[in-house]
């Protein structure tokens, strides 16, 4: 029989986002307002003030309720690590409201929720990783296809002004500095040096 405390965890990515939907979901499960911890921070990692406070407060027999797995976090490797810390080290349970299989509370005498939840988490982690790999591959293929069609990436190159050739010759003869030449051309000194290097390479070929 459960004797621990039920806690709720809520996360929104920015201070402008509204957490009401998550609070309503937790209220429907009887989570008391003073037992709900709210972070307004990205889910990229678990370095969140209220989350850390909740974990520190957690004891054996307690349960953390969260509306969805992405409110818990977005990095599945870290989610699994935190999940195991909560269930194995702390002896507490986790319940994800919109995914009933992610409920570590014991279901019957033979099979614990922890086993099923761990399995589901591993599957979700695998799917997320494959999706990431697929997106990277698709992006690389898209860039390669665009390059094959002549699409240029990065900043457009500056058109060299007509007076560049004259200033280049003056610069090579030491009669003007690169900074002064760049100023006359209305470009950055770095750009002038780059153009000069390209012209020098062409001349010496």
CB neighbour list of residue 5: distance below 8 Å, 6 or more residues apart: 35, 59, 62, 63
3-state secondary structure of 40: strand
Closest C-alpha among 169, 160, 168, 166 to residue 187: 160
3-state secondary structure of 2: coil
Closest C-alpha among 6, 4, 2 to residue 97: 6
CA separation for the pair 34, 191 (Å, rounded): 60
How much is the CA Rg of the chain, to the nearest whole Å? 29
CA separation for the pair 191, 181 (Å, rounded): 11
| Residue in the block written with tokens 């005498």 | 109
Which secondary-structure segment (H or E) carries 200?
A: helix 189-204
Q: CB under 8 Å, gap of 24 or more: what pairs does 102-108 form?
A: 102/69, 105/2, 105/63
CA separation for the pair 181, 74 (Å, rounded): 51
13 is a catalytic site residue: yes
Active centre residues (catalytic): 13
């Amino acid at each position: 029989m459960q004797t621990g405390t039920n806690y709720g965890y809520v996360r929104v990515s920015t201070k402008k986002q509204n957490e009401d939907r998550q609070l309503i979901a937790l209220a429907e499960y009887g989570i008391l307002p003073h037992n709900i911890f709210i972070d307004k921070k990205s889910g990229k990692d678990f370095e969140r003030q209220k989350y850390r406070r909740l974990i520190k407060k957690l004891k054996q027999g307690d349960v953390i309720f969260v509306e969805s797995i992405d409110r818990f976090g977005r990095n599945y490797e870290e989610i699994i690590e935190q999940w195991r810390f909560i269930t194995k080290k702390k002896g507490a349970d986790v319940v994800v409201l919109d995914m009933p299989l992610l409920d570590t509370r014991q279901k019957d005498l033979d099979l614990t929720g922890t086993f099923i939840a761990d399995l589901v988490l591993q599957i979700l982690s695998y799917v997320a990783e494959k999706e990431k790999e697929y997106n990277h591959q698709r992006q690389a293929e898209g860039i390669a296809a665009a390059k094959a069609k002549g699409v240029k990436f990065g900043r457009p190159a500056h058109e060299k002004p007509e007076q560049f050739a004259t200033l280049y010759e003056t610069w090579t003869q030491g009669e003007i500095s690169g900074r002064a030449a760049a100023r006359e051309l209305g470009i950055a000194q770095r750009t002038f040096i780059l153009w000069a290097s390209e012209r020098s390479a062409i001349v010496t070929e």
